[in-house]
Amino acid sequence: MAGIIIENVSKSFGETVVLSDFSSEFKDREFVTLLGPSGCGKTTMLRMIAGFEKPTAGIIRIGNRTVNAPDTFIPPEKRDIGMVFQSYAVWPHMTVFENVAYPLRIKRQDKQTVRQKVEQVLDTVHLSQYAQRIPSQLSGGQQQRVALARALVAEPQLLLLDEPLSNLDAKLRDSMRFEIKEIQKKLGITVVFVTHDQIEAMTMSDRVIVINRGVIQQMGTPSEIYRHPVNQFVADFVGKINFFDATIEEGLLTITGTGQQLDYHGPHTGNVVIGIRPENVRFASRQSDLRGKLASQFYLGDVNDCRIDIGGILMRVIAEPSTYAKYQEGDEVFLRVEDFSVFDDVGFDDHRRILT
Amino acid sequence: MRSTPTPTLNIDRRTFDPKWLIIGLIVVFLVIFQVLPLFYLVIKAFFPNGHLSLSAFKRVYTYPMNWSALKYTVITATATMFLGILFAFPLAWLIGRTNLIGSKFFRTLFVTTYMVPPFVGAMAWMRLLNPSVGTLNILIMKLFNLSKAPFDIYTMGGLVWVLTGFYFPYAFITISRAMEKMDPSLEEASRISGATPLQTLAKVTMPMMLPSIVAAGLLVFVTAGSCYGIPSIIGVPGQIHTVTTRIIDFVYIGSQEGLTDATTLAVFLMLIANIVLYVSTFPLAKKQFITVSGKSTRPNMVDLGRWRIPISLIVSIFALIVVIIPFFTVASTSFTVNLGKPLTEAGNLTLRYWERIFTRKAIISSARNSLLSASAAATFGMIITCMMAYLLVRTKAKGRKIPDFLITVGSGTPSVVIALALIMTMSGKFVINIYNTLTIMIIAYMIKYMLMGMRTVVSALTQISPSLEEAAQISGAGWFRSLRDVTLRLIAPSVVAGWFLIFMPCFYELTMSTLLYSNNTKTLGYELYTYQTYHSQQTASALATAILVMVILVNWLLHKLTKGKFSV
Ligand SMILES: Nc1ncnc2c1ncn2[C@@H]1O[C@H](COP(=O)(O)OP(=O)(O)O)[C@@H](O)[C@H]1O
Ligand SMILES: [Mg+2]
């Protein structure tokens, strides 16, 4: 059992508040991702779970043990956690085998067991033939797998990963994403994964926690976060989106400055902001939701990335590749909007300032 | 195919590159004043009368007093090395890695000690642990009702103690720097693997630091072994002669035979220093695990828990005994009329020694000499090092590493050896005669201390993007112009820091000055030493205290100037 309960955790360094009132519960065997722009406090949260930082306030429980509370503190070495650091932190003075064997040797397991377990885990991460190498003879991807093997070898119930893929090249990143997910399923462990990359978050997680400026913005499954972002920050940070000012009156939404209208049957009224994801807009052959003029288009092979002038403002639309040949810049186009979100107009464009 | 005339290209190819001129001039300077003299020294030791003869070696090394000097040198240097590391490593770890109380203060304190002239420690401990009148001895005798003084400073143990107190900061600084460079997540990875802080220290931190610890130890070994000030004050009265004190004795004899004997001993010292230099620049440097941390700059705080207060207390006591009490002793000596009585006794407090150091003609003239030669050494040294650092970091000019190598060797050579080599070659025997002038002093200082400036400038330059200069060149500025308008402006604080790093040790230099001075070119270090040994300890103490205050001020200034990057 290695669920995590975080209750009202806050953390400040001196005057700077890094995390405020963070509460969440991670279930056993869940893959939870902390997602947010750099500097938002993800690493700090992870380090508090690991025991390298102490919360300024709040309680953290791992399994059925309270590890952080005002009067309790369990040091990292007693928490039974595996962790992969962003810089890998593979020890340069030990061989791959010694690196991976370290947690077992600290636990004073007998030689036979150590050898067997290390070989097994090295096999899992496809490093068996490198056991006797020293880390400086390995590539970045291989070092990262050494770090992963070392984190897994003692069979922890909880694995913490701090941007483990950010230093890898694109190809390797794709395959490691898949492998980490496989290993998690196979071993049935709880994983807390930190990243600022929304694709990693979307593809790997059971649940995503979006953080901005130390405050939880939204928690949910990847599709909930993507399809129903609760605010402009989340909508903007996860995926691509067009924002337009609009007003709602009697079931009709008018995009400000364009005169174009969409049907709307929801709770919002008055001045709002609508968000339309570029891939939720389709080209239509006759009059549909919106109308505009094709301002520019870029053929990317798998999609056609267009900008459409809908009456003084541009909207980005990601259309099927076949549309590229059909239309030309300047053509009149009809658009069908399959989905959009409505947010209260908070009066400032906060979401834009936070973007990394 | 039409061939386009390219006259400019042809001219460019033939234009003499000013970089080579500069490298050439610096190399010529170093060859004349460093390489050739040192070579001559070695040759002279083996060919004392023009043909190969080991008779000088036989004579020197069979003479019992020399043998014992060799033995004492090796023993004290080795003991100092071990004791120094024994102090420096735990301190570096406690200060760099744990929640020790007042770690910033301790850091500054130990780093400042590095800039203090070593003989100040000897003066202090002589007062504290003199077997008959040492203040600390008397205090302990009173406290524990002893009939005999518990310590005698004029022994091997005393010598090692004083050497350690003033050379362990060398190891502390070396080890601390290496520890700062180590990625703290390497240690965190060990903690999360289940290791306690102490296990982590033993299995990760220590092994990773080992090359730096060895390098630090070797540095302490060489500096302690080639120190003259401390053994001449502490060792000689107790009949403990070291190689350095013997060499200077031989030179003072003045005869040709004396000079030959000095040379022969100096070769031994040089050999050891060069081996150590070689080992710590090549095999060791290669083994150093460079794991500069990426983003993670958080200090990896080890919580000392319930040991926090006791350990902080022990460190405080250590600092008190090794740094603060000695400094305080020297300062209080400078105000004491009768050294046999406590300062607090009526009429025993005086400012007369302070007045003396600011009024006595001999002292003022020596201070002027020191100021002049130290400033000159620092200024010429910085001109050379700035150019060298630039060529080293910014260009691929052939041979740019030669002066760097020579400067490193020069600074690794014991002071006595440098001075001796200069005496033997620069006194008119070979065209140049600068013996008895300040020039010879300035050159000796430059050879010994230029490296300090070099390191500072090189590390500052490495941090400035070359594109800044390139932008100036694209705008039409020549090499010198862009150097002056862009690079020099940006590295100015480091240049000032480097200047002081050369200036300070030259200002109070003792060893080389002792060999190179003449009646008109006495220096402050020499003046201080003669007052201490022959005339008046109080006057010497006043001088030492004044230097101490100056060191602290300069250090503070450097700290401000470079925003904490260079304070040593
Ligand atoms: N030890 C520390 N002292 C002071 N500020 C810190 C410390 N650690 C982190 N911070 C600050 O806390 C904020 C969040 O940092 P971090 O958790 O590393 O962000 P993330 O991992 O999301 O990029 C940053 O603004 C950082 O500067
Ligand atoms: Mg981070």
Residues B148-198: tens digit of each pLDDT = 777 787 888 888 999 998 889 888 988 888 887 788 889 899 999 999 989
Across residues B313-341, what is the average pLDDT?
84
Give residue for tokens 């077997």: B131
- Which pLDDT score is estimated for B566? 52
How far is the centre of ligand 2, averaged over its atoms, from the C-alpha of A68 (Å)?
21
In chain A, the residue whose alpha carbon lies closest to the alpha carbon of B299 is A52
Residues in B closer than 8 angstroms to A16, CB to CB, are none
Alpha carbon of residue B51 to chain centroid: 37
Chain B positions contacting chain A at CB under 8 Å are 183, 185-186, 188-196, 199, 203-204, 207-208, 289, 291, 293-296, 300, 303
* Strand order, beta sheet including A57-62: A16-26, A4-13, A57-62, A65-69, A72-73
- Which pLDDT score is estimated for B335? 79
Higher pLDDT, B342 or A264: A264
Residues in B closer than 8 angstroms to A194, CB to CB, are none
- Which pLDDT score is estimated for B235? 78
Q: Is A172 exposed, middle or buried (0-12, 13-18, 19+ CB in 10 A)?
A: middle
pLDDT of B564 strictly over 60: no
Note whether A106 contacts B199, CB cutoff 8 Å.
Answer: yes
Alpha carbon of residue A146 to chain centroid: 23
For residue range A53-95, what is the model confidence (pLDDT) as tens digits? 889 999 999 988 999 998 889 988 899 999 998 888 899 889 9
- How far apart are the C-alpha atoms of B283 and B369, rounded to whole Å? 41
For residue range B23-38, what is the model confidence (pLDDT) as tens digits? 788 888 888 888 888 8
- How far apart are the C-alpha atoms of A17 and B397, rounded to whole Å? 51
How do strand A81-84 and strand A16-26 relate by DSSP bridges? unpaired
**Ligand 1 within 6 A of CB of A218:** no
How far is the centre of ligand 1, averaged over its atoms, from the C-alpha of A195 (Å)?
14
Helix orientation angle between B118-129 and B325-333, rounded to the nearest 10 degrees: 80
Ligand positioned closest to the Cα atom of A163: 2
For residue range B352-409, what is the model confidence (pLDDT) as tens digits? 777 777 777 877 888 888 888 999 999 999 888 888 888 888 777 777 778 788 888 8
- Which pLDDT score is estimated for A158? 92
Ligand 1 atom closest to the Cα of residue A14 is: 4
ipTM for this prediction: 0.83
Q: Which of A339, A340, A334 is nearest to A291 (CA)?
A: A334
**Ligand 1 within 6 A of CB of A20:** no
Higher pLDDT, B188 or B7: B188
**3-state class (DSSP) for residue A133:** coil
In chain A, the residue whose alpha carbon lies closest to the alpha carbon of B300 is A52
- Which pLDDT score is estimated for B15? 58
Question: Is A106 near chain B, with CB under 8 Å?
Answer: yes
- Which strand (E) or helix (H) includes residue B271? helix B256-281
Question: Is A161 near chain B, with CB under 8 Å?
Answer: no
Residue A21 Cα, gap to closest chain B Cα (Å): 23
Q: In terms of CATH architecture, what is B63-242+298-329? A: Orthogonal Bundle (1.10)
For residue range B59-79, what is the model confidence (pLDDT) as tens digits? 777 777 778 888 888 899 999
- How far apart are the C-alpha atoms of B425 and A282, rounded to whole Å? 91
How far is the centre of ligand 1, averaged over its atoms, from the C-alpha of A212 (Å)?
13
- Which strand (E) or helix (H) includes residue B129? helix B118-129
Q: Whose CA is closest to atom 27 on ligand 1?
A: A39
- Which pLDDT score is estimated for B154? 85
How many CA within 13 A on the CB side of residue A101? Answer: 19
Ligand 1 atom closest to the Cα of residue A38 is: 23
Question: Is A158 near chain B, with CB under 8 Å?
Answer: no
Residues present in chain A in total? 356
Ligand 1 atom closest to the Cα of residue A194 is: 21
pLDDT of B512 strictly over 80: yes
**C-alpha angle with apex A27: A21 to A32, nearest 5 degrees?**
70
For residue range B189-247, what is the model confidence (pLDDT) as tens digits? 999 999 998 999 999 989 988 888 888 888 888 888 888 888 888 877 878 888 888 88
How far is the centre of ligand 1, averaged over its atoms, from the C-alpha of A15 (Å)?
12
Residues in B closer than 8 angstroms to A50, CB to CB, are 188, 192
**Ligand 1 within 6 A of CB of A43:** yes
- Which pLDDT score is estimated for B347? 67
Is residue B105 within 8 A of residue B192, CB to CB? The reply is no
How far is the centre of ligand 1, averaged over its atoms, from the C-alpha of A185 (Å)?
31
pTM beyond 0.95: the answer is no
Ligand positioned closest to the Cα atom of A22: 1
How many A-B residue pairs are in contact by the CB < 8 A criterion? 75
Ligand positioned closest to the Cα atom of A44: 1
**3-state class (DSSP) for residue A262:** strand
Query: pLDDT band for position B298 (50/70/90)?
Result: low
* Strand order, beta sheet including A252-255: A261-263, A252-255, A242-249, A270-276, A341-344
Ligand positioned closest to the Cα atom of A85: 2
Is residue A228 within 8 A of residue A341, CB to CB? The reply is yes
Across residues B434-455, what is the average pLDDT?
84
Highest mean pLDDT among A232-241, B391-400, B468-477: A232-241
How far is the centre of ligand 1, averaged over its atoms, from the C-alpha of A44 (Å)?
6
Closest partner residue to A91 (CB to CB) among B204, B293, B294 is B204
Note whether A87 contacts B185, CB cutoff 8 Å.
Answer: yes
Give residue for tokens 């000499």: B369
Helix orientation angle between B415-425 and B438-462, rounded to the nearest 10 degrees: 130
Is residue B215 within 8 A of residue B273, CB to CB? The reply is no
Note whether A77 contacts B191, CB cutoff 8 Å.
Answer: yes
For residue B403 the two structure tokens come to 């002066």
- How far apart are the C-alpha atoms of B91 and B107, rounded to whole Å? 9
In chain B, the residue whose alpha carbon lies closest to the alpha carbon of A39 is B295
Q: Whose CA is closest to atom 1 on ligand 1?
A: B298
Question: Residue B530's CB: how many other CB atoms inside 10 A?
Answer: 17
Interface test with A, best of B192, B212, B291, B295 (most A CBs within 10 A): B192
Mean of the per-residue pLDDT values of chain A = 88
Residues present in chain B in total? 568
- Which pLDDT score is estimated for B7? 41
Q: What are phi and psi of B359, to 5 degrees?
A: -120, -30
Ligand 1 atom closest to the Cα of residue B295 is: 18
pLDDT of B14 strictly over 70: no
For residue range A322-351, what is the model confidence (pLDDT) as tens digits? 888 888 888 889 999 988 888 887 665 554
Residue B470 Cα, gap to closest chain A Cα (Å): 30
Residues in A closer than 8 angstroms to B189, CB to CB, are 83, 85, 89-91, 147, 150
For residue range A263-302, what is the model confidence (pLDDT) as tens digits? 888 888 888 889 999 999 998 888 888 889 999 999 888 8
Q: Which of A195, A218, A182 is nearest to A86 (CA)?
A: A195
**Residue type at position B393:** V
For residue B173 the two structure tokens come to 């600084």
Strand-pairing partners, residue A83, are: A160
Q: Whose CA is closest to atom 11 on ligand 1?
A: A18
What percentage of chain A has pLDDT greater than the value 90? 41
In chain A, the residue whose alpha carbon lies closest to the alpha carbon of B188 is A52
